[in-house]
Amino acid sequence: MKNNVNWGRVALIAIPFLWLFFLFLLPFGSVIKMSLSDMATARPPYTPVFNSEEGIIGLWTLISEFDLENYLLLTEDELYWRSYFSSLKIATLSTIFTLLIGFPIAYGMAKTPSQWRATLVMLIILPFWTSFLIRVYAWIGILKQEGLLNNALIYFGIIDQPLVILNTDIAVYIGIVYSYLPFMVLPLYATLEKIDYSLLEAALDLGCSQFKTFWVIVVPLALPGIIAGCFLVFIPAMGEFVIPDLLGGSSTLMIGKTLWGEFFNNRDWPVSSAVAVILLMLLIVPIVLFQKMQEKELKEQGQ
């Protein structure tokens, strides 16, 4: 057992750790550092800046000048908490809509004869071949006043006046649900496909109605997929920037948009860094919950 270090194994395990260290932890540390700094009209646009010539003393002066001013600002200006709250609301509702639309799709796919399933999964993934940005832009063409949707509705005589959808929260919901639907459908499909459908027959055989069988058998067994899908939609939707920017109106508040504004319009890197750190903290809670859930599921499967 002495000096028996398997270097190949260490190297293999090290790769993801190094990846996370350099591409997540280090940049995140830099963001935290920036969030503790003050804005300055300089390049880079914040102080203090670490001067390597001063060595350890330089590091000390750097740390001594850090403060929580930016975080205090976030609590004082109601724009920020309203943005967080609005993001939370939009992300939650979008997740629910995505689940309501995605579940029947995934269930239908799981019940399709197996030779068709691969094709259906392919169709779900297919939109990814086109750039996300272009697909969101396409919705502008569909939703605008003289857009595809309004023209069609007027043509069929369902409405007289074009509906105002673009640049409202509705357009944001449509955009998010559309964009993140595959992330809901795929994990749902993966769990629904594994369900042994003789369980449904067994429930029916024991006197349970079709409708009740769905709730007492299918939904509990699909729960891991439902949770995974919801997190995969909720987490990115929470920080979404492109969709509210392109489809939403000026009144649509989302934290991603606020962050963008602070960074590029106000050039206030320290405050936008603080916004990003708080957003991450808010998201870590559901991520940790998600991981706990997965661990529990793995343990149960292991038995």
Partner 1 sequence: MNAPKPAEPASDFAPWLDPAQAPLIRFENVTKKYGDFTAIDNLTLDIYEREFYSLLGPSGCGKTTLMRLLAGFEVPTKGRILISGEDISAIPPNKRPINMMFQSYALFPHMSVAQNIAFGLKQEGKSKREINARVDEMLSLVQLEPFANRKPQQLSGGQRQRVALARSLAKKPKLLLLDEPLGALDKKLREQTQFELVNLQEKLGMTFVIVTHDQEEAMTVSSRIAVMDLGKVKQVATPDIIYEQPNSRYVADFIGDVNFIEGAYIKQSISESDTKLQHFQSSSHGELVAQGEIELSADEKAWLALRPEKIEISKEKPGFTNNCIKGKVWDIAYVGNTSTYHVQLSDGTFIKAQRVNRNRLRKRRITWEDDVWLSWHSDAPVILTK
Residues of this chain that interact with partner 1 (CB under 8 A) are: 196, 198-199, 201-210, 212, 217, 220-221, 300, 303
- Is residue 200 helix, strand or coil? helix
Query: In the complex, what is the shortest distance from the CB of residue 300 to partner 1, in angstroms, rounded to a whole number?
Result: 7
Query: In the complex, what is the shortest distance from the CB of residue 247 to partner 1, in angstroms, rounded to a whole number?
Result: 40
Closer residue to partner 1 (CB): 77 or 201? 201
Characterise 195 by phi-psi region: left (phi > 0), alpha (psi -120 to 50), beta (else).
Answer: beta
Report the alpha-carbon distance of residue 284 to residue 27 in Å, rounded.
17
Judge whether 70 and 270 are in contact, CB under 8 Å: yes
- Is residue 39 helix, strand or coil? strand
Query: In the complex, what is the shortest distance from the CB of residue 16 to partner 1, in angstroms, rounded to a whole number?
Result: 31
Q: What angle do CA 197, 185, 288 make, to 5 degrees?
A: 100
Closer residue to partner 1 (CB): 148 or 202? 202
Closer residue to partner 1 (CB): 146 or 300? 300
Closer residue to partner 1 (CB): 175 or 225? 225
* Per-position DSSP letters for 233-280, written without gaps between them: HHHHHHT--HHHHHHS-TT---HHHHHHIIIIIS--HHHHHHHHHHHH
Closer residue to partner 1 (CB): 64 or 210? 210
- Given 3-state DSSP classes, what are the helix, strand and coil percentages for the chain, each rounded to the nearest 5? 75, 0, 20
Query: In the complex, what is the shortest distance from the CB of residue 223 to partner 1, in angstroms, rounded to a whole number?
Result: 8
Q: What angle do CA 80, 172, 28 make, to 5 degrees?
A: 45
Query: In the complex, what is the shortest distance from the CB of residue 196 to partner 1, in angstroms, rounded to a whole number?
Result: 6
Query: In the complex, what is the shortest distance from the CB of residue 301 to partner 1, in angstroms, rounded to a whole number?
Result: 8
Report the alpha-carbon distance of residue 131 to residue 201 in Å, rounded.
43
Closer residue to partner 1 (CB): 160 or 300? 300
Report the alpha-carbon distance of residue 174 to residue 4 in Å, rounded.
57
Closer residue to partner 1 (CB): 96 or 200? 200
Q: What are phi and psi of 163, to 5 degrees?
A: -80, 145
* Per-position DSSP letters for 82-146, written without gaps between them: HHHHHHHHHHHHHHHHHHHHHHHHHHHHHHS-HHHHHHHHHHHHGGGGS-HHHHHHHHHHHHSTT
Query: In the complex, what is the shortest distance from the CB of residue 100 to partner 1, in angstroms, rounded to a whole number?
Result: 23
Query: In the complex, what is the shortest distance from the CB of residue 230 to partner 1, in angstroms, rounded to a whole number?
Result: 19
Q: Of 93, 23, 87, 92, which is closest to residue 259 (Cα–Cα)?
A: 87
Closer residue to partner 1 (CB): 20 or 216? 216
